Amino acid sequence: MKRMLAFLLLFPVIAEAQYSKFSPPNRIYDGLFTDIQMNRIFPDNKTFVDCVPLRDPQAILADYLKLKGNPNVRYSLKMFVDKNFSLPSKPASNFSSSAEESVTQHINRLWGGLKRVPDKQVKGSSLLPLPYSYIVPGGRFGEIFYWDSYFTMLGLQTSGQYEMMENMIKNFSFMIDNYGHIPNGNRTYFLSRSQPPFFSMMLEVLSEPKGEKVYADYLSEMQKEYDYWMDKTAATRHVVKMPDGSILNRYYDQDDVPRQESFYEDSTLAINYKGDRKVLYRNLRSGAESGWDFSSRWFADGKTLATVKVLDMVPVDLNGLLYHLELSLQKGYEQKKNSARANYYKQQATKRKDAINKYCWSQKEGWYFDYDLSTHSLSNEMTLAGLSPFFFRIAPQPYIIPASKVVESQFLKAGGVVTTLKNTGQQWDSPNGWAPLQWMSIKGLDNYGSKTLASEIARRWVNLNIKVYKATGKMMEKYNVVNTTLTAGGGEYPSQDGFGWTNGVLLKLMHDYNLKGN
């Protein structure tokens, strides 16, 4: 602990973040925040940043500093927190199932437990109020999460909850209009970054019941979303120029301090770090923006978190999402009868598609990889993101033949498809499987005619979900797809239950592939 305190004195880890007028907890509570997080008052650092103050935050901080500064007073930091803050609720306690309840019945009941009504502003709370009701992931995640919500909506669609789907899209539109982008989640400490940009994919789902007019209805928000990722509204540095001058994108968090919700972990990792700690922190934050936090996908040595280099990577799936956004902008401008703008985005999508195929496809491996800017070559890490160009219909048709062989020989496991081929102890590595990647892989294979393999992955994943549900009464955040008798693990926090995107993908797969739950 003395070593940690020396580190904190030598390298201040609270910096002025550019969060506009919004103050995340580290800025509001200053030294109190650092003391709480570094002393592990709560095992999970996300607990305190989600706490709600019971009185004026400035008064709480002033009282704490007086207490701490008085050598004649002995105090309990935990008791001080309990006296001055209310802890976040634990909705997972309501998620147990009844003995006779099928998985479909359970999930349809879960939507009520995961629902949040429009928020009210509370001074000193990290929660950014939203004007419409929404669905949260569950467990430690008591706010709306950006990319989670697309996969959750697949289940809401299957359940016929179209109003809730559009309410969530309206909330994301509200955030785009008010913050200039969709943050990781509706928390002040998430404002420095976004997440995989699934907004246009959400509109695609909504267009099924409401028609293609949704692209015109939400055109302004799609344009703002695109401008954010293309560095047109702020110097976000998401854009990278490839060797031939073509434009692709990367993840890039706008801050360079430890993540507030993982403050202890990031600060501890930095103690023995030999390079620029600000670069380390920005890489960790950018890994969180990717949603894959964390994975060997981002590690220079393919093994250890301290070598994280997200800023150097051009992710193949991120660029697939932006390709989809460009095509969606084309649709929106066509709806508005603006042929010049529609043609512009059609051209941008074509250029991006060509660049993805040029820089991310390996003819030798028969697989798509991220592109490493630091080595000017493909990444060494083979991951399930390599199927995303098939999901977005970017890949030439012949590529499905070698890619399907790679899936069958490398990624297909007893419970579905595994995220990567390495077991590093990180949660986005083997042996874990995740609902969003199952969905994108299955639909990508299906799009290109590899239907038998797609159906088999769907069957294995559905069976695993139902097996775990029957044993535990819960829907989990992630699953061990290699050994289906074991639970998933790894990462910074225990596996959570609830769980929004698992529920959504399971219901959709059961519906689309005629798979029956018991």
Please report, for the chain, the start and end positions of each structural domain, with discontinuous segments joined by +: 2-86, 107-143+237-512
Residue 146 near residue 185, CB atoms below 8 Å: yes
Question: Would you state the pLDDT for residue 99?
Answer: 56
Residue 415 near residue 424, CB atoms below 8 Å: no
Which token pair is 305?
């978190």
Q: Is 293 considered catalytic here?
A: yes
Rounded Cα distance, 508 and 446, in Å: 14
The candidate with the shortest Cα–Cα distance to 159, out of 103, 97, 198, is 103
**Degrees, nearest 5: CA angle 335-341-342:** 50
Q: What is the DSSP string of 26-45?
A: HHHHHHHHHHHHHTTSSSST
Strands 432-433, 367-368: pairing kind: unpaired
Low-confidence ranges of the chain (pLDDT < 50): 1-19, 92-94, 518
Helices (H), 370-498: 388-391, 400-406, 435-447, 451-472
Q: What is the DSSP string of 364-381?
A: TTTEE--EETTTTEE-S-
Measured torsion, CA atoms of residues 442, 445, 448, 451, in degrees rounded to the nearest 10: -80
Residue 261 near residue 45, CB atoms below 8 Å: yes
Active-site residue, from 293, 370, 381, 497:
293
The candidate with the shortest Cα–Cα distance to 427, out of 319, 297, 250, is 297
Rounded Cα distance, 247 and 55, in Å: 49
Question: Would you state the pLDDT for residue 14?
Answer: 30
Question: Would you state the pLDDT for residue 492?
Answer: 82
Question: Would you state the pLDDT for residue 489?
Answer: 84
Q: Is 221 considered catalytic here?
A: no
Question: Would you state the pLDDT for residue 334?
Answer: 98
Question: Would you state the pLDDT for residue 235?
Answer: 84
Question: Would you state the pLDDT for residue 17?
Answer: 34
Question: Would you state the pLDDT for residue 15?
Answer: 30
Which token pair is 495?
């596996």
The torsion angles phi and psi of 463, rounded to 5 degrees, stand at -60, -40
Residue 240 near residue 356, CB atoms below 8 Å: no
Rounded Cα distance, 187 and 10, in Å: 29
Decide: pTM greater than 0.75: yes
> For helices 2-10 and 25-38, what crossing angle results, to 10°?
150
Specify the CATH architecture of the domain 107-143+237-512: Alpha/alpha barrel (1.50)
Which token pair is 307?
């070598």
